Amino acid sequence: MISKKNKVVELDHAVIRFAGDSGDGMQLTGSLFSDSTAFAGNDFATFPDYPAEIRAPQGTVAGVSGFQIHFGRTDIHTSGDLADVLIAMNPASLKANMRWITNEAIIIVDTDSFIDKNFEKAGYDSNPLEDESLVGHVVIQAPLTTLTREAVKELNLDNKTSQKSKNMFALGIVFYMFNRDYTKTFSFFESKFKSNPLIVEANKKVLEAGFNFGDTIEAFANTFKVEAAPLEKGKYRNVTGNLATAWGFLAASERSKRNIFIGSYPITPATEILQELSKHKEFTCISFQAEDEIAGIVSTLGASFAGALAITTTSGPGLSLKSEAIGLAVITELPIVIVDVQRGGPSTGLPTKSEQSDLMQALFGRNGEAPVIILAASSAADCFYSAFEASKLALEHMTPVILLTDGSIANGSEVFKIPTVKDLPIIIPPIVDANDPTYKPYARDEEKLRRRWALPGTEGLRHRIGGLEKENISGNVSMDPLNHELMTKLREEKVNRVANYIPEQEVVGEDEADILVVSWGGTYGVLLTAIEKLIAEGKSVSLAHFKYIMPLPKNTRDILSRYKRIVVCEINMGQFVNYLRMQFPEFSYEQYNKVQGLPFMVTEIVDKVNELLND
């Protein structure tokens, strides 16, 4: 059902933020609104914001969980800077999010939770609904808890059970505000709670009651509508970065004709990749939940030796533990993919927050000379293509690949056009035929310098590899110093030659400009939006966003040479800019960094570039 009572105002885009205690179901509420946004044909991007504590004290600012969605009828690349609508389920969620909303934002609050003890927990000295601190905002005061109980009273549920649906009441109000058909969400209830028809009925009633509440109160002078985006014809769905990563590996398995093995230890925020792949035994995917990070990667090495598309997933602390085994993969020249979903560090750091803090570890965090290929995904949808590309490079070049994503894009979601697998490139690993008389473990082709892959059990190909240095070609253990130097150089040159098989770096904007903004990885959406805005204003600025980190694209030096000033923006203290200084010391670099466990805002980038242009 869609209400037609009030005047409908058409918007190009809007940002909504759902916030409440960890137990208030804000992630589910946001996900369901995202699904309705996909049904409406809008482009969108989301940003789930979890508390770091597993069980933070209820009603405190530390325990607030949030979910932000930015949707529109044009291309959406970010989850939005500031929210136009805030749903605050308690005083703490209101206080925690006041700096993340516009000055004119609509605020919906559960007045049942705005009581003295909750003001104290949140650190309020007075009731924010009465002290004029919300002047300028349209505040919708709704006793959500009471109204939820009223909606399900005929079902004779106990108070605790009935109150669990109050997030659906809030969702119903938002559905009304944006003229959404709330009945499409019923199928989720029927699937999620199919074993408990009473809960299905309760959620339906509460969602409908929330919609009707919005339709009957006088607070909404207008409702809003965002028309569908002009998306290309195809099949679309809402995906998170972790889900897209798992699907990218499934596609690579099909195109390479290699079974998948994933050996991983659960760790925030990477665990969902392991969980998703474990569901797909029909694609001959073997998943192993290891007892620790080291067991995860060494099992992956064994699977690679046996001929599988071998994957291990982790975050920064786990990548540290995997470092020795990555070195073993380098010296044995076995193809594996290590996915590092970066989070705030060091140590346990900020487990649920995002940073680009592991680049130096990925580049150099191993003993000896141990180069690996490194890619960085740029968005939730790009995680699919990055996982596919990482698999292709690992299998075709016989070397480990580290794929860097981050918490923001791993847990965030966006519209994803599902590709046809047959349209993806074929992957051809250099597998040796049985009884090949020319096979030697470390004999290489001239083009890629890769050794060939002899699968155990193949007749006539018995061989050995291992962590001790091997003699070139024969694979015998060798402590000869000149051979060690030769093998070290061959392994490095093999990775460097990957530059011949990756795309050249592209630039958004003019080939020459006053400022070149450089970025990498998951900051792409924000940087692209900011640079497009600046270009539209006539500013002399361009963007080079890097996906391929090791090796860098072949034309990198040429691009850097064409701009008067180079500013590198990243969510760390300057890891990529220092890497560029090492590779291209002839250029001068400026940097703009943020280390708050939060993504860049578009306004931050725009303001920084304008500041530099006005110097």
Query: Are 342 and 410 contained in the same domain?
Result: yes
pLDDT value of residue 4: 52
Query: Are 404 and 281 contained in the same domain?
Result: yes
Model confidence band, residue 220 (pLDDT cutoffs 50, 70, 90): confident
Q: For the segment 122-170, what is each residue's pLDDT rounded down to a tens digit?
A: 999 999 999 999 999 999 999 999 999 999 999 988 888 888 899 999 9
Q: For the segment 393-407, what is each residue's pLDDT rounded down to a tens digit?
A: 999 999 999 999 999
Give the pLDDT mean for 457-481. Answer: 95
Query: Are 552 and 600 contained in the same domain?
Result: yes
Residue type, 481: P
Instruction: Give the number of C-alpha atoms closer than 13 A to the C-alpha of residue 510, restricted to the C-beta side.
Output: 14
Query: Are 122 and 59 contained in the same domain?
Result: yes
Domain boundary (226, 252, 276) is at 226
Instruction: Tell the burial category of 462 from Cβ atoms under 10 Å away from its Cβ (0-12, 13-18, 19+).
Output: exposed
Query: Are 289 and 399 contained in the same domain?
Result: yes
Helix axes 166-177 and 144-151, enclosed angle (nearest 10): 100
Give the pLDDT mean for 87-104. Answer: 95
pLDDT value of residue 231: 83
**Which CATH number goes with the domain that contains 353?**
3.40.50.970
Q: For the segment 596-614, what is each residue's pLDDT rounded down to a tens digit?
A: 999 999 999 999 999 999 9
**What's the chain's average pLDDT?**
94
More confident residue, 230 or 540: 540
More confident residue, 24 or 2: 24
Q: Is residue 439 situated within a structural domain? A: no
Query: Are 266 and 211 contained in the same domain?
Result: no
Contacts of 37 (CB under 8 A, 6+ apart): 44, 69, 71, 238
Q: Is residue 194 situated within a structural domain? A: yes
Domain boundary (199, 226, 253) is at 226
Q: Is residue 460 situated within a structural domain? A: no
Q: For the segment 407-447, what is each residue's pLDDT rounded down to a tens digit?
A: 999 999 999 999 999 999 999 999 999 999 999 999 999 99
Domain boundary (395, 423, 451) is at 423
Q: Is residue 455 situated within a structural domain? A: no
Query: Are 255 and 183 contained in the same domain?
Result: no
Expressed as residue numbers, the domain containing 534 is 515-613
Model confidence band, residue 181 (pLDDT cutoffs 50, 70, 90): very high
Does 114 have pLDDT greater than 60?
Answer: yes
Question: How many percent of the chain have pLDDT more than 90?
Answer: 89
Query: Are 47 and 161 contained in the same domain?
Result: yes
Q: Which residues of 565-595 are buried (b: 16+ CB within 10 A; e: fewer)?
A: bbbbbbbbebbbbbbbbeeeeeeebebbebe
pLDDT value of residue 164: 86
Contacts of 191 (CB under 8 A, 6+ apart): none
Query: Are 582 and 602 contained in the same domain?
Result: yes
**Which CATH number goes with the domain that contains 594?**
3.40.50.920
Least confident range from 53-57, 587-591, 604-608: namely: 53-57
Instruction: Let me know: does 151 contact 180? Beta carbons within 8 Å.
Output: no
How far from each other are the two terminal CA atoms of the chain, in whole angstroms?
55
Model confidence band, residue 6 (pLDDT cutoffs 50, 70, 90): low
**Residue 315 CA, distance from chain mean position:** 12
Instruction: Give the number of C-alpha atoms closer than 13 A to the C-alpha of residue 293, restricted to the C-beta side.
Output: 21
Give the pLDDT mean for 85-111. Answer: 96
pLDDT value of residue 394: 98
Query: Total domain count for the chain?
Result: 3
What is the value of pTM for the model shown? 0.94
Does 592 have pLDDT greater than 90?
Answer: yes
Q: Is residue 45 situated within a structural domain? A: yes
Contacts of 142 (CB under 8 A, 6+ apart): 108, 109, 110, 111, 169, 173, 213, 217
Query: Are 27 and 138 contained in the same domain?
Result: yes
Query: Are 165 and 242 contained in the same domain?
Result: no
Query: Are 367 and 277 contained in the same domain?
Result: yes
pLDDT value of residue 5: 57
